[in-house]
């Protein structure tokens, strides 16, 4: 790993010591662009000069609103060279509802108060009004000039970047990270997972913590090359991710569980002919609860193309600790635990289930704590729980955020005595962390707490439904004084009454057979109706709000 202490200094060190080292292969609409350390340093220097000419100084916040590409990398590293503090916001791509995107941009601008917003020329019109109203300079490529003399002024303890969390427009919070925090997590990831000669492949957006830290900055700090592609490229054709692993002989990649499910179930065989995944060494799986069925389905589907089952490496983390907290040992067999669903949902006790138990649920370990990271699992009073008792996961580490930017009250809600309340539930077993779900996603039925993932996985087995287009939520029912289980599924046949009735019946049958619980309602909606984060994760609380208000598009 680099001997530098800031991200900007690390890039210059690489450019000075090994200028021809490849750091990036950037794919877009044309031929991939290869960037060496010297290339990236030169581009970043030009961006730093341009930003300085627009009045950006060390400590100033700078928004970067661009799709993954050469200019986005230049803008980010230009900020690091200047000692400015970048935050990445998703660009207004066609898949996003424009008004919702603009509302979020206005929120980020009001929270961060940036000196400038760097945008691609095609997005200038979309950002002009919000930026003009807030007095934010709009900067766009091409960047011209060289490295600003004495521009690397940041120190290890200075703020390096802000990561804004996903969520509803009003709930997004700015996670502040110092260079020291980023370096600490990058070191922990590298010590555990990287190998000399690794080549990382990524489709994740730079406004996602796994995309920015895990698949961009951490590799750079270890001098490892990254082949990146625009997120929309994956969303339109998931097999492009697999072909990037083939083309670059990729050894390392990471993605949320849903991405592996998409590749396992939604890519036709004709799109995989000639694929070679034999170089694939590590497949990180995190950012949402890992499903055992997904891992097996992906391994079975990709085995004919050279993929090895032991490449799958579940992990756990979040933006508030920079990125990673736990990770399984690369190359080891998966660790799973079959448990009684009723006991976990009832008193939170982990009781192993027999193979023929109808209430059996298989959980996947997310691994053990990385270096310098501590884990506790506590009950509602904050008391530590023993192994195999479900509770709230707390974390403490060197890579902890400084806080939520200019939101001290929100920071105080989650940070106490150095411990972060993750808002996640799980349990420990012999040092292995099992994450069972988000507390806010729990469905409470007659006093028992159920996580939505088993319901969603069962519903997704219905013919014509996609794994990334199913949401299981609990909706309040005043008459029954409890929540009712509602499955919302996307279908191209949402306007066909006869087909909708068939889908409803099939979903109820599948969920009942797999989980023992019968859904109270099944709503069939058009494709694209379910709200998601920019990286594709379901926003279940927004689904609940839309159901309660009756605003879910096209519900039947």
Q: What is the pLDDT of residue 447?
A: 64
Map out the domains of the chain with their CATH numbers. Answer: 7-23+35-193 (3.40.50.980), 237-402+412-439 (3.40.50.12780), 442-549 (3.30.300.30)
Confidence of residue 555 (pLDDT cuts 50, 70, 90): low
- HEC sequence for 56-108: CCCCCEEEEECCCCHHHHHHHHHHHHHCCEEEECCCCCCCCCHHHHHHHHHHH
* End-to-end CA separation in angstroms for the chain: 55
Using the predicted structure, report yes or no on whether residue 420 has a pLDDT greater than 60: yes
Instruction: Report the pLDDT value the prediction gives residue 514, as an integer from 0 to 100.
Output: 86
| pTM for this model (two decimals) | 0.85
Position 32 pLDDT exceeds 50: yes
Instruction: Show the beta-strand stretches assigned E in 122-216.
Output: 137-139, 159-164, 174-178, 200-202
Residue 148 pLDDT: 58
In this predicted structure, the answer to whether residue 117 has a pLDDT above a threshold of 60 is: yes
With contact defined as beta carbons under 8 Å apart, do 323 and 214 qualify?
yes
Highest mean pLDDT among 137-141, 455-459, 496-500: 137-141
**DSSP letters for 29-51:** SSS-EEEEHHHHHHHHHHHHHHH
Is it the case that residue 486 has pLDDT exceeding 90?
yes
d(CA 56, CA 315): 37
pLDDT tier for residue 96 given thresholds of 50, 70 and 90: very low
Q: Is 388 helix (H, G, I), strand (E, B) or coil?
A: coil
Q: Cα separation of 293 and 285, whole Å? A: 13
What's the rounded mean pLDDT across residues 184-212?
A: 96
The pLDDT of residue 167 is 59
Q: What is the mean pLDDT of residues 301-323?
A: 97
Instruction: Report how far residue 60's alpha carbon sits from residue 540's, in angstroms, rounded to the nearest whole number.
Output: 35
What the block records as the tokens of 438 is 């988000």
The average pLDDT across 161-178 equals 82
What pLDDT is stored for residue 438 in this prediction?
A: 80
Element (H, E) at 376: strand 373-378
Give ∠ CA 376-379-385 in degrees, rounded to 5.
50
SS3 call for 161: strand
Average pLDDT over residues 443-471: 85
Report residue 95's pLDDT band, with 50, 70 and 90 as the boundaries.
Answer: very low
Residue 150 has pLDDT above 60, yes or no: no
CB 185 within 8 A of CB 324: yes
Q: How far apart are CA 27 and CA 478, in angstroms?
A: 52
What is the reported pLDDT for 478?
Answer: 66
pLDDT by residue (tens digit) across 326-354? Answer: 999 999 999 999 999 889 888 899 999 99
Kindly state the average pLDDT of the residues 133-159.
84
pLDDT of residue 170: 55
Among the residue ranges 362-371, 460-469, 479-488, 494-503, the one predicted with the least confidence is 479-488
Taking residues 503-523, report their average pLDDT. Answer: 92
Average pLDDT of span 287-308: 93
Left, alpha or beta for 10 (phi > 0: left; psi -120 to 50: alpha)? alpha
Cα–Cα distance, 323 to 428 (Å, whole number): 20
Instruction: Say what the pLDDT of residue 325 is.
Output: 98
- Over 90: is that where the pLDDT of 556 sits? no
Rounded Cα distance between 353 and 360, Å, is 6
Work out the mean pLDDT of the chain and round it to a whole number: 91
Token pair of 128, please? 């002009």
Q: How confident is the model at residue 169 (pLDDT cuts 50, 70, 90)?
A: very low
Give the span between the Cα atoms of 277 and 46, in whole angstroms. 37
Average pLDDT of 314-319?
Answer: 96
- pLDDT of 276: 98
| Confidence tier at 83 by pLDDT (50, 70, 90) | very high
What is the pLDDT, as a whole number, of residue 524? 95
């Amino acid at each position: 790993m680099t001997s530098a202490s800031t991200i900007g200094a690390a890039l210059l060190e690489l450019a000075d010591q090994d200028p021809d080292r490849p750091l990036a292969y950037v794919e877009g609409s044309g031929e991939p662009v290869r960037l060496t350390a010297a290339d990236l340093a030169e581009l970043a220097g030009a961006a730093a000069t341009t930003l300085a000419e627009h009045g950006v100084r060390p400590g100033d916040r700078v928004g970067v609103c661009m799709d993954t590409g050469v200019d986005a990398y230049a803008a980010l590293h230009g900020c690091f060279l200047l000692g400015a503090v970048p935050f990445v916001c998703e660009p207004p791509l066609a898949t996003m509802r424009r008004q919702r995107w603009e509302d979020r941009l206005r929120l980020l601008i009001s929270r961060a108060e940036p000196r400038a917003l760097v945008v691609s020329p095609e997005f200038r019109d979309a950002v002009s009004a919000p930026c003009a109203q807030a007095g934010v300079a709009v900067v766009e490529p091409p960047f011209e000039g060289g490295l600003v003399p004495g521009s690397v002024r940041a120190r290890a303890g200075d703020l390096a970047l802000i990561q804004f969390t996903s969520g509803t427009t009003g709930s997004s919070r700015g996670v502040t990270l110092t260079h020291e925090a980023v370096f600490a997590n990058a070191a922990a990831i590298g010590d555990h997972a990287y190998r000399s000669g690794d080549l990382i492949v990524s489709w994740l957006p730079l406004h996602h913590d796994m995309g920015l830290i895990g698949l961009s900055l951490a590799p750079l700090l270890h001098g490892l090359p990254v082949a990146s592609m625009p997120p929309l490229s994956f969303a339109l054709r998931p097999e492009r991710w697999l072909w990037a692993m083939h083309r670059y002989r990729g050894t390392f990649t990471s993605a949320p569980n849903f991405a592996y499910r998409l590749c396992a179930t939604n890519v036709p065989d004709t799109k995989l002919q000639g694929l070679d995944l034999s170089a694939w060494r590590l497949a990180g799986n995190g950012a949402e609860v890992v499903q055992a069925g997904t891992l097996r389905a992906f391994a079975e589907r990709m085995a004919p193309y050279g993929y090895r089952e032991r490449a799958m490496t579940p992990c756990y983390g979040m933006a508030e600790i920079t990125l990673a907290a736990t990770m399984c040992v690369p190359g080891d067999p998966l660790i799973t635990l079959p448990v009684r669903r009723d006991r976990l949902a009832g008193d939170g006790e982990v009781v192993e289930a027999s193979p023929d138990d109808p209430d059996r649920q298989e959980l996947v370990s997310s691994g053990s704590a990385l270096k310098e990271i501590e884990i506790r699992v506590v009950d509602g009073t904050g008391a530590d729980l023993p192994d195999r008792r479900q509770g709230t996961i707390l974390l403490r580490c060197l890579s902890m955020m400084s806080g939520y930017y200019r939101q001290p009250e929100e920071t105080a809600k989650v940070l106490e005595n150095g411990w972060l309340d993750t808002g996640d539930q799980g349990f420990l077993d012999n040092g292995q962390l099992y994450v069972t779900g988000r507390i806010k996603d729990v469905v409470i039925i007659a006093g028992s707490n159920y996580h939505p993932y088993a319901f969603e996985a069962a519903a997704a087995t219905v013919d014509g439904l996609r794994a990334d287009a199913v949401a299981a939520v609990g909706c309040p029912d005043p008459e029954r004084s409890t929540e009712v289980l509602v499955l919302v599924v996307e279908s191209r046949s949402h306007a066909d009454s006869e087909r909708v009735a068939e889908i409803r019946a099939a979903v109820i049958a599948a969920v009942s057979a797999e989980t023992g619980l019968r859904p109270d309602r099944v709503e069939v909606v058009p494709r694209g109706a379910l709200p998601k984060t920019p990286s594709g994760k379901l926003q279940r609380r927004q689904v609940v709000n839309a159901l309660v208000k009756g605003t879910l598009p096209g519900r039947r």
